[in-house]
Amino acid sequence: MSKTFSPTKRFLIKGIMATCLLSVTRVGFAASMAQIIAVRVWPSSTYTRITLESNAKLNYKHAKLHNPDRIVIDIDNLNLNPTLKTISTKVLSRDPFIKSIRALQLDPKTVRLMIELKQGIDPNTFTLPPIAEFKHRLVVDLYPSKPTVTDDDPLLALLEEYQKGELNKKQSQIKSSNKKKNSPIIVMLDPGHGGEDPGAIGYKKTREKDIVLQIARRTYNLLKKEPNVKAYMTRKEDVFIPLNVRVAKARSLHADLFISIHADAFANRSVKGSSVFALSTRGASSSAASYLAQTQNDADQIGGVSRSGDKYLDNTILDLVQKTTLSNGVLLGTAILNRMKKVNKLHKPSIEKAGFAVLKAPDIPSVLVETAFISNINEEQKLKTASFQNQVSKAIVDGIKDYLKRRKN
Ligand SMILES: [Zn+2]
């Protein structure tokens, strides 16, 4: 995608005079320069993301250079402010892809980022419009050009299909397998949010993405002890994964069950309790459920996906949703809810339904567990404790076991 250029050659900034004149008359000269308000680097074993957040949309050009491997990004109309300077301190030595990042003022109107790499990288660079508490963002995702195959995790391949807009097509080719009677039950645990998307944030700044990852890991460890069960996780670390890719990972590994783990939030801090949701193709069971599904489905915009990526599973796949999958989802959710009520007050006495994008695998009974309200001060405190996390994990595992005795085939 990118063209190679000499790093010393300046870019021509087309039409800059016109822009300046307009700015002077309207808002003054200084206001025409964009300001960086935050920089973040999210390393993971699959890919590393760099995010520059700014008060205006950034115009940039990027190039890939070799010997040594590096990426150069020139951003127009930008000053090297103290926030942007901190980017060099944000690179961790354990980052699998980035050796170092330097930011320098190339000329009075251009900032250059030099990203030195540890290996050959295919970058995916895009901008995101403001959403939720985020302003404009410039995102640089760094994927390995030659992935090291260490295990059977299909995540990187699925992320690549997603970027190319080929995920839905490839997914529609996956046939639901006819499993042998004694083959293990495959459970996909899905800790919500991650990376750039923190999920809900508690009064004491506890982040949903951290809590749900801890609970999912505990659940995974409990499931590992169960005979004839194989567990996977959509994410094992603090990384952003689009909703569609989470569903695709479950389908690629022929999961029998999909359990998304979240913590709820509401403006009114007195609201509390646990809830369990199943997919509804006919609308939500309550306006709160519909609102929650909408905000959870926004995760892709908050976590950040480029526009070339596939949209949610389209109707052709949704039309395939089988009645059995939906009714088994309700059965699974009810079994988990019945166990959850022994460890926490319930927010609603029965399972709720809504159109969560993450529950839309056509052939996998899927539920979303809202473990507790992170916006409630007492429940936020509880969510942080190992004892409550263990109780929730055990409730999920016991719920799965109850369901397996009752499910319809
Ligand atoms: Zn959530």
Q: Tell whether 283 and 190 lie within a shared domain.
A: yes
- Residues forming a β-bridge with 181: none
Q: How far is the CA of 166 from the centre of ligand 1 (A)?
A: 26
Q: How far is the CA of 22 from the centre of ligand 1 (A)?
A: 43
Final residue belonging to a domain, choices 122, 144, 166: 144
Identify the pLDDT of residue 153: 85
Is residue 11 included in any domain, yes or no? Answer: no
Structure tokens at 166: 């080929």
Q: How far is the CA of 376 from the centre of ligand 1 (A)?
A: 15
Enumerate residues with CB within 5 Å of ligand 1 (an ion).
192, 199, 262
Structure tokens at 150: 């260490």
Q: Tell whether 183 and 136 lie within a shared domain.
A: no
CA–CA separation, 207 and 190 (whole Å): 16
CB neighbours of residue 269 within 10 Å? 16
> Which of 208, 199, 196, 210 is CA-nearest to residue 305?
196
Angle at 222 between CA 190 and CA 360, to 5 degrees: 25
Q: Tell whether 104 and 224 lie within a shared domain.
A: no
Structure tokens at 101: 């990042």
CATH of the domain at 389: 3.40.630.40
Is residue 150 included in any domain, yes or no? Answer: no
Q: How far is the CA of 226 from the centre of ligand 1 (A)?
A: 27
98 touches 142 (CB < 8 A): yes
156 touches 46 (CB < 8 A): yes
Residues near 288 by Cβ (< 8 Å), separated by ≥ 6?
Answer: none
Q: Tell whether 51 and 77 lie within a shared domain.
A: yes
**Per-residue b or e along 153-166, where b marks 16 or more CB atoms closer than 10 Å to that residue's CB:** bebbebbbbbbeee
Final residue belonging to a domain, choices 144, 179, 201: 144
Angle at 163 between CA 157 and CA 168, to 5 degrees: 75
CA 276 and chain centroid, separation: 20
pLDDT tens, position by position, for the chain (409 residues)? 333 333 333 333 333 333 444 444 444 445 589 999 999 999 999 999 999 999 999 999 999 999 999 999 999 999 999 999 999 999 999 999 999 999 999 999 999 999 999 999 999 999 999 998 999 999 999 999 987 766 678 999 999 998 888 888 888 788 766 777 789 999 999 999 999 999 999 999 999 999 999 999 999 999 999 999 999 999 999 999 999 899 999 999 999 999 999 999 999 999 999 999 998 777 778 887 888 888 777 888 888 887 555 554 444 444 445 677 888 999 999 999 999 999 999 999 999 988 888 887 878 999 999 999 999 999 999 999 999 999 999 999 999 999 999 886 6
Any idea which residue has 């990288």 for tokens? 121
122 touches 133 (CB < 8 A): no
271 touches 318 (CB < 8 A): no
11, 130, 138, 147 from 153: Cα distances, Å? 41, 33, 28, 12
Is residue 180 included in any domain, yes or no? Answer: yes
Final residue belonging to a domain, choices 144, 178, 203: 144
Q: How far is the CA of 198 from the centre of ligand 1 (A)?
A: 9
Is residue 235 included in any domain, yes or no? Answer: yes
Identify the pLDDT of residue 225: 97
Q: How far is the CA of 367 from the centre of ligand 1 (A)?
A: 13
Q: How far is the CA of 188 from the centre of ligand 1 (A)?
A: 17
* 3 state DSSP class of 307: coil
Q: Tell whether 175 and 286 lie within a shared domain.
A: yes
Strands, E assignment, 247-331: 257-264, 275-279
CA–CA separation, 129 and 136 (whole Å): 5
CA 144 and chain centroid, separation: 19
> Which of 289, 255, 295, 287 is CA-nearest to residue 275?
289
Q: Tell whether 93 and 197 lie within a shared domain.
A: no
Q: Tell whether 317 and 271 lie within a shared domain.
A: yes
Q: Tell whether 132 and 181 lie within a shared domain.
A: no
Q: Tell whether 357 and 383 lie within a shared domain.
A: yes
CA–CA separation, 366 and 400 (whole Å): 11
Domain that holds residue 295: 155-406
CATH of the domain at 109: 2.60.40.3500
Q: How far is the CA of 399 from the centre of ligand 1 (A)?
A: 20
173, 209, 358 from 241: Cα distances, Å? 22, 12, 11
Q: How far is the CA of 174 from the centre of ligand 1 (A)?
A: 28
- Residues forming a β-bridge with 50: 41, 140
Residues near 151 by Cβ (< 8 Å), separated by ≥ 6?
Answer: none
369 touches 396 (CB < 8 A): yes
Q: How far is the CA of 270 from the centre of ligand 1 (A)?
A: 18
Is the peptide bond prior to 227 cis by the omega test (within 30 degrees of 0)? no
Based on the structure, what is the number of domains in the chain?
Answer: 2
Q: Tell whether 207 and 346 lie within a shared domain.
A: yes
CA–CA separation, 386 and 21 (whole Å): 60
Structure tokens at 52: 């520059």
Helices then strands, each counted (H, E), the chain: 12, 14
Identify the pLDDT of residue 409: 66
Q: Tell whether 396 and 250 lie within a shared domain.
A: yes
Identify the pLDDT of residue 169: 83
